[in-house]
Structure 1
Amino acid sequence: MTPRTVPQMLALRAEQEPGGVAIVVEGEGTLTFGEWERRSHAVAHGLLDRGVRPGDRIGLLFGGRDWADFAVSYCAVQLAGAVAVPLSDRLAPAEVRHMLDHCEASAVLCGRDLEAPDGGRWTAAPAELEGGTAGPPGVPVGPQDLAQILYTSGTTGLPKGVGATHANLTFGCETRPKRRRFGHSRHLLHAFPIGTNAGQTMLMNALDARPAMLTPARFTPARFTRLIESYEVGTVFVVPAMAIELLNAGLHERHDLSSVVLLGSAASALPPAVSVRLAAAFPNATVTNYYTSTEAAPAQTIMIFDPARPDALGRPAFGGALRITGPDGGTLPPGEAGEVWMRSPAVSRSYYRDEQASAESFRGGWVRMGDMGYLDAEGYLHLVDRESDVVKSGAFKVSTLQVEAALYEHPQVAEAAVVGVPHPVLGTVLAAAVVPRSAGMSETGLRAFLMERLAGHELPDRVLVVDALPRNQSGKVIKRELRGLFGAAVTGQTEGT
């Protein structure tokens, strides 16, 4: 397939379906492909009139209700030959400032009621740039040009900027109307934040998939289930935190969710017990795990939940590849755990202006995932843990994912996360933070429950009952903040011994 730019994908879709609905934002309105292209052209001319030149980095700071304006601005920046830097309104001002300063953004386009941190760069709303010259701006843009810088979630340190070319972003995008993805659906529902890899995937789906992209202005379980029922949504995408919140709210017992035939989970692995509950809550849906990273996309594995392989994350899709390596970099045989590497079928991404970090994570088309895992005899990937989260306790290495999976099997556990905390003898021991479904959960009973499922060295030494887990904008638990909770906790009523 001939590589294309993102604006070329939009032009093709606008030609094929000018009146087709691309994006629906609950309570805010719709965006057709024809409107998307026309407005993108107008904003691109406005950018050029403001002095934007090829290669300039332009920040895009938008919230959930601004998806249509974000989509227009994203393509407009690229039509002007510049590089889009998507940012979320859920980020703290200091985080936004760091990202804009790091990529040396020359301007920021903002959503409604949003302001970019002061940094000597001009800001504008998309509407301020419309109304000028019509038609495409005519700036030469090629598939190998840098199209986007997307910042990682920063769960283990400062966020890194990941650069992607147009060819990387449009790899696998379908141009033939009858072959478009998710043909079983009229609407594809998600609530991913702008500025995340999952959110960017949904933007590309809006360009090339058959259903219209539907999203609430802000995620709540009630809004989400109401949209599924009212639009009879066929395809739904969530992150595990959203799935858990949906299930714990019990709204599937009061709403008709039978229209959903594909329920995809991204960003991190679904605990097996949560997958089982999702399958029951969405009776007609195929529950599917998608595994990738901001660095590795579009490489990914896809796995339909299989009770016979509850923790498997699938095999490579779309021509990608997967390998497990040992400390010497050699490939390990099936069953042996090591570092997970994926190879992208498209032009590889890289860290923007960080050659040292790029050399450590991107090698010959292969991308280091930062996870420990193994392949079974049939080539299915099983994660052990994040490399940074594996706990070395005494003589044992313990997977926090395995302990969390056991905790989620307890009927009174709504959410759970496990980290390692210092110990004077063993060096590190396991500590679990648990959000209970209701008051009065017995920690003694919880420990007895875990003893039937875990080895002695896998049992949490400390258990802390909390109201909520610290999460980032992607719904991932921020484990460095979680460790801080244990450091600040006072041994007593809220903690086990």
Structure 2
Amino acid sequence: MNKMPERLGEETLGESLPAVGPEFPACSLAEVRSVLCASGAKFEMETVEIRGVPTRVWKNAPANFAELVRAARAHGDTEFMVLNDERVTYEAWFRAVAALAHALRDMGIEKGDRVALVMRNLPEWPVVYFAVTSIGAIIVPLNAWWTGAELSYGLTDSGAKLLVADCERMERFEGYDDALADVPYRLCSRGQSSLATGSLEDLIGTSADWADLPDWDLPDVDVAPDDRATILYTSGTTGAPKGALGTQRSSLSNILSSGYAAARAALRRGEPVPEPQKRTSLLVIPLFHATGCNASMLGTVAGGSRLIFMDKWDPLQAMEIIEREGVHATGGVPTIAWQLLEHPERGRFDLSSLEAIGYGGAPSAPELVQKIYAEFGALPGNGWGMTETCATVTTHSGEDYLNRPTSCGPPVATADLKIMDPDGREELPTGSVGELYAKGPMVVEGYWNKPEASAETFIDGWVRTGDLAYLDEEGFCFIVDRAKDIVIRGGENIYSLEVENALYEHPAVTDAAVVGIPHHTLGEEPAAVVHLAPGMMAGEDELRAFVRERLAGFKVPVRILFSEDTLPRNANGKILKKELKTMFGELEDA
């Protein structure tokens, strides 16, 4: 296998960054773990069997979602969610969750039933999410950017008994009667739809009404840590999305994983572990992503912090919110950071409250680390995880990030990483590039109703990530490439085969390949090369419109080139996509 490149952590980042002196780190990662995970400590671990595999888990993690929801009620009149003029306290949110949970039980929603949630970031989203999971039902957050066809697939594949959607998304099911026919309950929010059987407001009112709802407790349901809780869809190389089946434990592990990362950063710089403090975060990534709901929302709820939502991402509006609300943290993907950094009107706003800008889920340039600190005085942070790990596996922040700007950090204490050869038979030594495997309580049970894909991906507690990576001598992880054929556009996964299949549906297209081309703020964008059938004609705009009718807008190729010959392939018949990528570079240079 390939060996790792020269030590990337020794790159010069510029005089604007805080000095990382010879005394850093104050302690090793092993010493940090020994202190933080000691017996009786907050981050103490224990080993339990998960699906027959001994696994380290956080001993003090909530046992289930109901336990978290009840504990979060103690935050009382502290604001939890803000959207424009809407402000929701923890007490109001709890009452809405409890009222909806009882209504769901009255509908006949039982433990293990699936409830599909299709909604942009609204205060109702966390209400539905926690009401469903607190009674042991399975929440299925579908991508709010999907088309009607994509949403109908998720609805049918999950076997949802109830659909809850904002009315804009509900209307996307128009014409997909077969998918809706098997869903007896369909609740619409913030509007009316002929496709709905009722409205969410009929059950719990609007966000302004929640504080006046009855003072009920959650329904009493016996829910164990490894009971199923979530299905989050991730596109697959077969073209059909796969539902990653998360448990109560795998989702809730994120709470202590995030806390451990913050404590580790403090000890590494020689400071005492800080006391938890309430923070305000501007959440600009969708809640239907693992990062949004698991890494961001769950930690917020546990700590009694505040989430600010936006109708849609707009950097100018974001800066206004940061100044007005005193936002401490934002981010999600590198795109967000770049757009804030480069906005021509940034100087008009007081952004001094920002303490951290974190991101992950897309390639990022090492110079972004420098710019964030130099321009905002905020510490950058990133990490690595995937839908199949319910988000957090590694984290990277502070001086460690400055030292290794191309790493995604070391794993949290409950996670293990290893690098395997292409056949998955031999673990490779430190510094060797191979496929990254991850293990820990955050790994999902498998794929919903896809036993063959599950058996291929999940092996004895380990998940085959499809990422090519190496580990350095201290255990820091460096992602160097992706084994899976995927384009990541601003944090959104786009599997090439899905787009290629859409192109092949056009009668003129006989050969097609989708590749990722670099983009300054989005990381990369999808582009395509096609070969047309003899005597047939089709233009770039026509093909792009054709794909847009079938897939979400973010999956549409930004550019399409035409090849007079069939696309180049190797001896095994696989298209040589690296050669195709050069076509776009050559065009730029021309």
Q: Same fold (TM over 0.5)?
A: yes
Q: Offset of 1:92 from its aligned partner?
A: 1.3
* Structure 1 counterpart of 2:80: 22
Deviation at 1:6, TM superposition (A): 1.0
1:431 maps to which residue? none
Check if 1:274 corresponds to 2:368: yes
For the residues of structure 1 that align with 2:466 and 2:585, how far apart are their CA atoms? 36
Deviation at 1:130, TM superposition (A): 3.1
Task: Flag structure 1 segments of 5+ consecutive residues without an equivalent.
Answer: 392-399, 425-465
**Cα distance change on mapping 1:56 and 1:262 into 2, 3 Å:** same
Equivalent residue letter for 1:481: P
Partner of 1:214: 308
Aligned to 1:448: none
TM-score, L = length of structure 2? 0.64
Establish whether residue 123 from structure 1 lines up as the match of residue 202 from structure 2. no
CA distance in structure 2 between the partners assigned to 1:193 and 1:310 by the alignment: 26
Q: Does 1:74 align with 2:74?
A: no
Equivalent residues in 2 for 1:144-159 (5 A)? 144-153=226-235, 157-159=239-241
The residue aligned with 1:460 is none
Given that 1:24 and 1:214 are in contact with CA atoms closer than 8 Å, whether structure 2 keeps it comes out as yes
**CA–CA distance in 2 between the matches of 1:361 and 1:376?**
24
The residue correspondences of 1:96-495 to structure 2 (distance < 5 A) are 96-115=151-170, 117=173, 118=177, 119-120=180-181, 121=183, 122-124=185-187, 125-130=199-204, 134-153=216-235, 157-171=239-253, 173=255, 183=276, 186-201=279-294, 202-283=296-377, 285-304=378-397, 306-329=401-424, 330-346=426-442, 348-389=444-485, 404=518, 417=524, 478=555, 481=557, 485-487=560-562, 495=588
Shift of 1:337: 0.9
Assess if the C-alpha contact under 8 Å between 2:388 and 2:443 holds in 1.
no
**2-structure distance, mates of 1:149, 1:45:** 22
Cα distance, 1:207 vs. partner? 1.5
Aligned to 2:112: 55
Distance 1:182 1:240, change over 3 A: farther
- Equivalent position of 2:72 in the other structure: 13
SS of 1:377 mapped into structure 2: coil
| Superposition deviation, residue 156 in structure 1 | 7.8
Which residue does the alignment assign to 1:90? Answer: 145
- Structure with greater helix percent: 2
* TM-score scaled by length of structure 1: 0.75
Distance 1:159 1:108, change over 3 A: same
Point out which structure has higher relative CO (alpha carbons under 8 A, 6+ apart). Answer: 2
Match of 2:51 in 1: none
Letter in 2 for 1:32: T
> Is the 8 Å Cα contact of residues 82 and 307 (structure 2) preserved in structure 1?
yes
Contact 2:282 2:329 in 1 (8 A): yes
Whether contact under 8 Å (1:196, 1:474) holds in the other structure is no
What value does the CA root-mean-square deviation take over the aligned residues?
Answer: 3.7
Please state how far the C-alpha of 1:266 moved relative to its aligned partner: 2.2
Secondary structure of 2:524 counterpart? strand
Q: 1:338 to 1:421 in 2, by over 3 A?
A: farther
Q: 1:76 Cα deviation (Å)?
A: 1.6
CA contact (8 A) 1:171 1:298 kept: no
- Deviations 1:289-339 (Å, cap 9, x if unpaired)? 111101023541112274543311111114211111112321111221110
Code of the aligned partner of 1:9: L
Residue 43 of structure 1 aligns with which residue?
A: 100
- Asked if the contact 2:447/2:453 (under 8 Å) is kept, the reply is yes
Q: C-alpha distance in 1, partners of 2:223/2:451?
A: 25
Residue 488 of structure 1 deviates from its aligned partner by: 8.2
Residues 111-120 or 286-295, more deviating: 111-120
Aligned length: 425
- For 2:329 and 2:275, how far apart are their aligned partners in 1? 7
SS in 2 for 1:140: coil
Stretches of structure 2 that go unaligned for 5 or more consecutive residues are: 1-58, 188-198, 206-212, 264-272, 488-514, 532-543, 565-582
SS in structure 1 at match of 2:318: helix
Shift in Å, 1:271: 1.8
Letter paired with 1:128? D
Cα offset for 1:154?
5.5
Could you tell me which residue of structure 2 aligns to residue 435 of structure 1? none
Q: Counterparts of 1:150 and 1:414 in 2: how far apart (Å)?
A: 26
Shift in Å, 1:371:
0.8
Q: Distance in 2 between matches of 1:320 and 1:275?
A: 25
Equivalents in 1 of 2:405, 2:471: separation in Å?
14
| Segment of structure 1 superposing worse, 112-121 or 195-204 | 112-121
User: Aligned pair in 2 of structure 1 residues 323, 246: CA closer, same or farther (>3 Å)?
Assistant: same
- Going from structure 1 to structure 2, the CA distance change for 1:36 and 1:96 (only over 3 Å counts) comes to same
**Could you tell me how far apart the structure 2 residues matched to 1:416 and 1:72 are?**
33
